[in-house]
Amino acid sequence: MTLTPSQTVGPFLAIGLPWADGPYVVPEGTPGAITITGRVLDGAGDPVPDALVETWQADPNSRFNHPDDPRGAVTSATPGFRGFGRSATDQNGGFRIVTVRPGPLPTPAGATEAPHLDVSVFARGLLDRVVTRIYFADEGQANAADPVLSGIAEPERRETLLAEPARQPGAFLFDIRLRGERETVFFDV
């Protein structure tokens, strides 16, 4: 069957997609919760105020409550863990996701993926979503062994995938540069 092609979300996605609880992968006040904030920027370095950022991740015990995980679907030990986050950007291109740090994941060939979130970005001007990953800059050892990160030859390109710890405890910064200088690595999945 012919696949349905992607089309841009256009400038008016705010009518249909944002949810009041979208940014909360875990309920507010969850012990150990972290906040990932950042900006979506265009090729001129200007904020993208009409984008949508979505995240998907394992729970802190490296599990998914999903039947296609061959290790079995598991209800997370973190109460209210949804795995999924969704944040529309504001006038400054800013987004915010409240979550818990995911655990590392085994690959079929026996390697280990460092803790990460898969990310989709939708916006006017993007005819298809762009996909990236958020890793954590303070997971140096795990990141060094991660097969996806290691597959990116240039260190400065790899760095675009690292969320940096901010001053406040539990806060991380992750900017998404759609184009141009320090362009974020985007994946073909």
Partner 1 sequence: MKTGIVLPHYQRPDGVHPPLDYPDYRSSLLRAPTQPLVPMPQWLTEVTGPLLGPDRVTAGDADLTTRHAGEPLGERIILTGRVLDSDGRPVPDTLVEIWQANSAGRYAHVVDDHPAPLDPNFDGGGRCVTDSDGRYRFITIKPGPYPWRNHLNAWRPAHIHFSLFGRAFTQRLITQMYFPGDPLFAQDPIFNSVPDPKAREAMIARFDLGLTIPDWALGFEWDIVLRGRTATVFETEEHR
Q: Which of residues 99-138 bind partner 1 (CB under 8 A)?
A: 105-110, 113, 116, 118, 120, 122-131
Please choose, out of 16-24, 27-35, 87-95, 164-172, the segment that lies near partner 1 by the rule CB under 8 A. 16-24
Residue 36 is a binding residue for partner 1 (CB under 8 A): no
Residue 43 is a binding residue for partner 1 (CB under 8 A): yes
Among 32, 61, 71, 140, binds partner 1 (CB under 8 A): 71
Instruction: Give just the sign of the alpha carbon dihedral 16, 19, 23, 24.
Output: negative
- Tokens standing for residue 163: 């969320």
Identify which of residues 30 and 186 has a Cβ nearer to partner 1 in the complex.
Answer: 186
Cα–Cα distance, 116 to 112 (Å, whole number):
11
- CA–CA distances in Å: residue 165 to residues 121, 135, 138, 144, 171: 22, 11, 7, 18, 6
Among 37, 57, 76, 78, binds partner 1 (CB under 8 A): 57
Give me the least distance between CB of 50 and partner 1, in Å please: 7
- Tokens standing for residue 50: 């009409």
- Tokens standing for residue 109: 């060939």
Residue 54 is a binding residue for partner 1 (CB under 8 A): yes
In degrees, rounded to 5, the angle at the alpha carbon of residue 126 between the alpha carbons of residues 100 and 9 is 80
Identify which of residues 100 and 148 has a Cβ nearer to partner 1 in the complex.
Answer: 148
